[in-house]
Amino acid sequence: MTATKDARSTPTTRSSAGRWLHDHALLIVSLAIFLACLGGMIASGLQVYNDDQLAHGSAAVPLGEYLRSGDFIEAMFENWESEFLQMGAYVVLTIFLFQKGSSESKPIGQRIPQDEDPRSAKDDPDAPWPVRRGGLALVLYENSLAIFFFLLFGLSLWLHAVGGAEAYSAEQAEHGLPGVTTLEYLGTAQFWFESMQNWQSEFLAVAAIVGASVYLRQRGSPESKPVATPHHETGD
């Protein structure tokens, strides 16, 4: 009994690889799910694309050709565009806007560490390099998260337009109509329909988590307030 108790009380030692996986599991699992869903999108999209090709009397295409097609590029980046817009807008909106009782809002009327001016830490040897450097490097760094998401949004929006223009032009050609350039496609109702149908769902999801986190809880999740916290308390 004593030997068994001692063995059970001995802490388990993780290997360095195991500890790295444990410490980065949220990112790794999210990327793994992304890759699995991307693979499913490619496989099913290729089938749908080739079914449409055959229905119109054209030959089926191999995977490589499908991945270069306007249909695939438009479908891929139409969705990425809305995700990056949502995240960039959420990062910026939560700087200035509040929701009483929500775990997604900063506390009302209180300063939090994220509000502090990093210039006061310029002599801290452990501070990130831009903080110690100051000037333009710090200005860019202290806004780098929003900049990152809006750059990805802009790139995705452009690639959505590139792929969409190709797919739209191919469909126009089937009806004996002229195609469009990428810039012309940006002015079509089709482009904005594709964008808005995704944007509206992203901001609905934001509103849902902001509002639901006032009254609902998920034990163990940092996206939720502690289960016993009163509804009126705002922030973590």
Q: Is 88 buried (19+), middle (13-18) or exposed (0-12) by CB count in 10 A?
A: buried
Q: Is the dihedral of CA 109, 114, 116, 117 positive or negative?
A: negative
| 144 neighbors 155 (Cβ within 8 angstroms) | no
Query: Which tens digits make up the pLDDT trace of 130-175?
Result: 999 999 999 999 999 999 999 999 999 999 999 999 999 999 998 8
Torsion of CA 184, 68, 194, 80, to 10 degrees: -120
pLDDT digits (tens, 9 = 90+) for 186-232: 999 999 999 999 999 999 999 999 999 999 999 999 999 999 999 99
Q: Where are the domains of the chain?
A: 15-66, 69-236
